[in-house]
Amino acid sequence: MILAIDQGTTGTTCLVVAAGLEVIGRGYAELAQHFPQPGWVEHDPDEILASVEASAAAALADDEHTRPTPHPKLRIAKAREVDPDWLEGLLDWLSQDRIPGDSEVRRDLKRWVPEFQSQVRPRLAAIPKQKAG
């Protein structure tokens, strides 16, 4: 799934898009406009962030396509059945007090999502210089 965010002048629209590009959730939040002088418009960055959060929450709160979890800001797509033990392990991993490294994230994604394919290509090793002689 993809959460697409469209930030406009008067509001924020968020769409939840499934793998087949089907829109399965939609949210909208208005954004206050401030006019410091004629012909000018300004937006408060905190209000922009709040509108994104509200719009995303509305898009993700679609009970027809997602299910809630114990974590208030995490929902699971109903694309397949989810084993409760699997979900508990994922939530524990997401709640870590540290940020895992890229290789650890790729390893764990492969474990949790069999379809996951890393887009990282292996790096080429340097060829050692040959001694002249």
pLDDT 10s digits, 43-53: 999 999 999 99
| Residues in CB range of 65: below 8 A, 6 or more apart | 16, 18, 24, 25, 77, 78
Span 86-120, pLDDT tens digits: 777 777 777 778 777 878 877 877 777 666 566 65
- Give Rg (Cα) of the chain: 22
Pairwise pLDDT comparison (1 vs 116), residue with the higher score: 1
Residue 6 CA to residue 25 CA, distance in Å, equals: 14
The domain limits of the chain are 1-65, 80-120
The two three-digit tokens of residue 76, written as one number: 């699971």
pLDDT interval class at 7 (50, 70, 90): very high
pTM over 0.85: no
